Amino acid sequence: KLEPLASHVAAIVAQLEGSTVRTRKAAMQLLGKVEAEFLAPHAAPVAALLADSDSDVRQAALQTLSGLEGSALAVHGATIVGMLGHSDTCCTAYRALQKFEVTSLLELAPAIAAKVEHSEQKEVRVVSLKLLTQLAVTHERADALSPYVGAIVPRLSDKAKSARPLAMELLGKVDVE
């Protein structure tokens, strides 16, 4: 991480609006090298680039946000879950969501379960099952994922063979009473 950049974060962020794709991508890569504590106050304009028209900029913005910790990252949780549905950002979104605290991940469980149930992309279903499994393993309440059994059961016969054991493992952890 580059601490000398810390005093220039605001100037770098100011370059984002109305700039070229090349400039936005370069700014994201540069901001990704800044310590999280200096980036956190400027996270909103970075998060806005998750909706950029250019996939490279979206990917770079997601990687930059992934450098944040705790509540600074969790504020953007719903948007990051949305990024699971894009083939260009699925893996990066998954890695970012793995950093979430259990309480933040629990709040996102309905949206993650929707990805398990409705996504046509195998990779999205698999990483979403992995996130629910992570939640089931770390959450102290066995019934926390019970509402999502209906989304998980169809994955027992998923086209993605790697989804099947995840679904079985997850169902084994869920209290369905």
How many percent of the chain have pLDDT more than 70? 94
Which burial class, exposed, middle or buried, applies to 41 when counting CB atoms under 10 A from its CB (0-12, 13-18, 19+)?
exposed
pTM: 0.86
Band (pLDDT 50/70/90 cuts) for residue 159 is: very high
Q: Is the pLDDT of residue 7 over 90?
A: no
Give residues with Cβ within 8 angstroms of 154, minimum separation 6: 117
Q: Is the pLDDT of residue 103 over 90?
A: no
H helices within the chain, ranges in order?
9-14, 21-31, 36-39, 43-48, 55-65, 70-74, 77-83, 90-98, 102-118, 122-138, 149-152, 163-173
**Averaged pLDDT for residues 47-70:** 92
- Per-residue model confidence as pLDDT tens digits over 132-143: 988 887 766 657
Q: What is the CA radius of gyration of the chain?
A: 18
